[in-house]
Amino acid sequence: MDEIEVFNKMSEIAETPHFSMVFGDESEQSRKIAEHKAWLQSIRRERPGTNVPYKVGIYIRYFNQTRYDNYLSYHKKQFADTVALCPKWELVDFYIDEGATAPNMETAPEWCRLLNDAYEGKVDLLITQKVSNVSKKMYEVTLCARLLATQKHPVGIYFISEDIFTLASYYQEDMKDSFFLPGPGWKLLPDSDDEMR
């Protein structure tokens, strides 16, 4: 018997181990996913109401990948024209960060300025094209949405492409979950690495 025949004979005897990436009951997990998808299809999508007075901040993640020189101006005009159709809405400002990829929040100065304006009460509705404009880390987006929703005057974010409005009634329970919010012993870290932490 040559080596190949011996290997084939041994393969028939020994069972190959099965590696499963499923945790728990696969049918239960599949059922829950199917139920959630069905629920998402059944709900009536909520968007910011045009009859509600909002102070609007528009966030744009801009990367000129088009052949048009005035693309940013055109994009801003589209947003301004749409906000103008809502007589109770006031356009506060455009907040524009440049870059081709999804940012980290700490490297997006205009997003940070928008958040500061929201916390100071200057803006109560943030509008942006898509979730990935804000951050590549979903937990950052979730934390921001929760922190903004828990303000004395709740602040919402509307993501146009995904049609997500963070102050929609079906998100209210999630937005009030305080698990990720700072506790009573929470302290700010110093701005400088040189200072003791």
Task: Classify residue 87: in a domain, yes or no.
Answer: yes
pLDDT at 189 over 50: yes
Task: Classify residue 58: in a domain, yes or no.
Answer: yes
Count the neighbouring beta carbons within 10 Å of the beta carbon of residue 114.
25
Task: Classify residue 117: in a domain, yes or no.
Answer: yes
Count the neighbouring beta carbons within 10 Å of the beta carbon of residue 128.
22
Residue 69's domain comprises 54-175
Task: Classify residue 14: in a domain, yes or no.
Answer: no
1-34 in b/e form (b: 16+ CB < 10 A) is eeeeeeeeeeeeeeeeeeeeeeeeeeeeeeeeee
Task: Classify residue 82: in a domain, yes or no.
Answer: yes
Sheet with 125-128: list strands edge to edge: 89-98, 54-62, 125-128, 156-159, 164-165
pLDDT in tens, 41-72: 777 778 899 999 999 999 998 876 665 678 78
pLDDT in tens, 126-151: 999 988 888 888 888 888 888 898 88
The structural domain count of the chain equals: 1
Task: Classify residue 25: in a domain, yes or no.
Answer: no
- Three-class SS state of 69: coil
pLDDT at 178 over 70: no
Determine contact, residues 58/114, Cβ cutoff 8 Å. no
Here the CATH number for the domain that contains residue 64 is 3.40.50.1390
Task: Classify residue 193: in a domain, yes or no.
Answer: no
Task: Classify residue 49: in a domain, yes or no.
Answer: no
pLDDT at 180 over 70: no
pTM for the whole thing? 0.69
pLDDT at 196: 52
- Secondary structure E strands in 70-130: 89-98, 125-128
